[in-house]
């Protein structure tokens, strides 16, 4: 059975405040009633001293209580509330006695006190308050009979009032119990709704797909974390509750939105909405709500989509290479072995020796291609670890320079150590950085005569994520070839396999790293590694959780 604990009633409770104001207003009316009794007439003698002696202290006490309620909200205990209710009963009974008894009508005000007891205290104490009020009325009636005479007929109204007080208390208790039960259910449902709303917000915020709501004016209103990062929305453009400050879409996104409105079946191509930003795929749907119409935009990182497609491609490539490796490598080995034996022949003419060297060189190149394709087709899952990129790069550069004494690498970390944490497979990252550094040093030496390289560590100003730039002093890549440098078997130099950058990008995508090329006229070529959030997992981790027998994760 529900009861109201004393801790649940405080001076800030609206009902308690109302009751405090009621008591103060009642005391003012009682003081005003004094003059009405002085002027009026009554069959029963009026006792002014008792009336004033009760009304004045009662008014002063009620005023102090009201001031305390307004100025210093507290949590009154049950005994304090019970004391206030008893004071109200005593004051009203004394006023009733001084005014001539039940005929004055003041005793009926005890019903308000009894009803207040049912609200502010437990059912047992509320019943006790009703009993005290009933006994006080009967005692006052008996006192008037003894003092002024009269028959026992005066006890009937007092008894009826006592019954009415008990009935009012019990009825109010039942009503309050039902109201409290309804309030508890409403509060519970409200908490459930709030929890569900919070859970939905967390789910939306952690979705890999960016969600963006546009109002009728095509201004951004609400966006999740993925959409903010993909669109490059700054933190100062977002309010505390995650609402975007009515920004316009980027121009390319607005064009895609207009094309969708003209043809809802139109499929947008991947777009780069900002310089050096990721390729994103936009799709839209209209929303109809009571507040008006709007548009929900889905912003997907195209690298994630291509990564999933790449997983399927690698699986097919693995089956293909496994079937042809034996058919190609064995004849290739025989050709290479025969050429080596022919080169060792003393009767080999010098002009034929040159042809043998060409055969051996191309055999070795073909073998490298097969090794790279086989390594790529294995598709070993990455083993990501949380590393501090600043310290890791320093250690990598130190080890790299020990194997290449002629190289010179300048490292400039702009990101603080505490903000350079990333979650990647260190073996994959080492393989990618080794490939980029070897390429950069080779092209720098070819252009300037010195094998120099610059590695920069920065934080993206839009997303706040870590990025690494590997910059050489070479001549750069021709503009017409930039779109093809990450394609397999594409190479600009004789003897290359064309799989180095392709393999590097595949390893990057498996570790939530976006590898891109920036052609800077003043410094040569720049390969930028844009790292994902350290708490995000790759597609391969989601689709194939950690297995007991996974290897080191090295791709080659």
pLDDT, tens digit, for every residue of 94-138? 988 888 777 777 888 888 989 988 888 888 888 899 899 889 888
Output the six-digit token pair for 309: 């497609």
By CB atoms closer than 10 A (0-12, 13-18, 19+), residue 255 is middle
- Position 272 scores a pLDDT of 77
Supply the CATH classification number for the domain 305-378: 1.10.287
pTM over 0.95: no
| pLDDT tens string 456-514 | 998 887 777 889 999 988 877 877 777 778 877 777 666 566 678 888 888 888 888 88
- Residues 425-440, buried b or exposed e (16+ Cβ, 10 A)? bbbbbbbbbbbbbbbb
- Position 289 scores a pLDDT of 66
By CB atoms closer than 10 A (0-12, 13-18, 19+), residue 215 is middle
Tell me the three state secondary structure of residue 138. helix
CATH number of this structure's domain 205-301, picked from the four choices 3.10.20.30, 3.40.50.1820, 3.40.50.720, 3.30.450.20: 3.30.450.20
CATH number of this structure's domain 385-543, picked from the four choices 3.40.50.150, 2.40.50.140, 3.30.565.10, 3.40.1440.60: 3.30.565.10
Q: Domain locations in the chain? A: 6-196, 205-301, 305-378, 385-543
Average pLDDT, the chain: 78
pLDDT score of 364 more than 70? yes
pLDDT score of 539 more than 60? no
- Among 327, 419, 315, CA closest to 376: 315
Contact indicator for 211, 296 with CB cutoff of 8 Å:
yes
Contact indicator for 550, 380 with CB cutoff of 8 Å:
yes
Contact indicator for 157, 102 with CB cutoff of 8 Å:
yes
pLDDT score of 2 more than 60? no
Could you tell me the pLDDT band of residue 393, with boundaries at 50, 70 and 90?
very high
Tell me the three state secondary structure of residue 246. strand
**E strands present in 90-240:** 210-214, 219-223
Contact indicator for 314, 382 with CB cutoff of 8 Å:
no
- Position 98 scores a pLDDT of 83
Same fold across 205-301 and 305-378: no
Rounded to whole angstroms, the Cα distance separating 64 from 27 reads 12
| pLDDT tens string 144-177 | 777 766 556 667 888 888 888 888 889 988 998 8
Neighbours of 292 (CB within 10 A): 9
Sign (positive or negative) of CA dihedral 373, 377, 379, 380: negative
| Minimum mean pLDDT range among 197-211, 263-277, 314-328, 353-367 | 314-328
């Amino acid at each position: 059975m529900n009861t109201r604990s004393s801790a649940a009633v405080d001076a800030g409770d609206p009902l308690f405040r109302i009751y405090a104001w009621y008591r103060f207003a009642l005391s003012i009316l009682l003081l005003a009633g004094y003059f009405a009794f002085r002027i009026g007439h009554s069959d029963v003698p009026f006792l002014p001293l008792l009336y004033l002696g009760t009304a004045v202290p009662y008014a002063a006490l009620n005023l102090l209580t009201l001031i305390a309620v307004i100025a210093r909200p507290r949590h009154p205990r049950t005994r304090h509330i019970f004391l206030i209710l008893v004071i109200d009963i005593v004051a009203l009974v004394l006023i009733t006695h001084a005014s001539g008894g039940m005929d004055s009508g003041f005793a009926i005000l005890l019903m308000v006190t009894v009803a207040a007891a049912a609200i502010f205290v437990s059912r047992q104490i509320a019943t006790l308050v009703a009993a005290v009020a009933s006994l006080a009325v009967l005692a006052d009636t008996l006192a008037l009979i003894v003092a002024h005479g009269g028959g026992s007929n005066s006890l009937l109204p007092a008894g009826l009032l006592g019954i009415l007080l008990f009935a009012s208390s019990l009825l109010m208790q039942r009503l309050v119990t039902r109201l409290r039960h309804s309030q508890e259910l409403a509060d519970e449902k409200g908490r459930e709704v709030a929890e569900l709303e919070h859970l939905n917000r967390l789910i939306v915020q952690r979705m890999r797909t960016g969600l963006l709501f546009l109002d009728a004016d095509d201004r951004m209103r609400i966006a999740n974390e993925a959409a903010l990062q993909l669109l490059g929305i700054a933190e100062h453009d977002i309010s505390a509750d995650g609402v975007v400050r009515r920004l316009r879409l980027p121009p390319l996104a607005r064009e895609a939105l207009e094309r969708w409105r003209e043809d809802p079946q139109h499929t947008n191509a991947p777009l780069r909405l900002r310089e050096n930003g990721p390729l994103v795929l936009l799709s839209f749907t209209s929303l109809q709500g009571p507040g008006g119409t709007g548009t929900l935009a889905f912003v997907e990182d195209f690298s994630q989509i291509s990564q999933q497609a790449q997983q399927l491609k690698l699986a097919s490539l693995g089956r293909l290479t496994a079937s042809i490796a034996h058919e190609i490598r064995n004849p290739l080995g025989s050709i290479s072995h025969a050429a080596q034996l022919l080169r060792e022949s003393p009767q080999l003419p010098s002009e034929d020796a040159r042809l043998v060297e060409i055969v051996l060189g191309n055999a070795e190149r073909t073998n490298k291609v097969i090794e790279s394709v086989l390594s790529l087709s294995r598709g070993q899952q990455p083993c990501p670890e949380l590393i501090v990129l600043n310290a890791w790069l320093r250690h990598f550069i130190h080890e790299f320079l020990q194997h290449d004494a002629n190289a010179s690498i300048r490292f400039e970390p702009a990101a603080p150590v505490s903000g350079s944490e990333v979650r990647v497979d260190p073996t994959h990252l080492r393989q990618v950085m080794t490939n980029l550094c070897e390429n950069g040093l080779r092209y720098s030496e070819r252009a300037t005569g010195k094998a120099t390289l610059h590695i920069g560590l920065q934080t993206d100003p839009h997303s706040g994520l870590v990025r690494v730039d590997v910059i050489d002093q070479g001549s750069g890549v021709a503009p017409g070839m930039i779109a093809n440098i990450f394609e397999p078997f594409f190479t600009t130099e004789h003897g290359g396999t064309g799989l180095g950058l392709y393999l590097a990008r595949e390893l990057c995508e498996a570790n939530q790293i976006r590898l891109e090329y920036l052609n800077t006229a003043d410094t040569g070529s720049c390969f930028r590694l844009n790292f994902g959030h350290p708490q995000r997992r790759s597609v391969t981790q989601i689709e194939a959780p950690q297995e007991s027998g996974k290897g080191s994760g090295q791709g080659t």
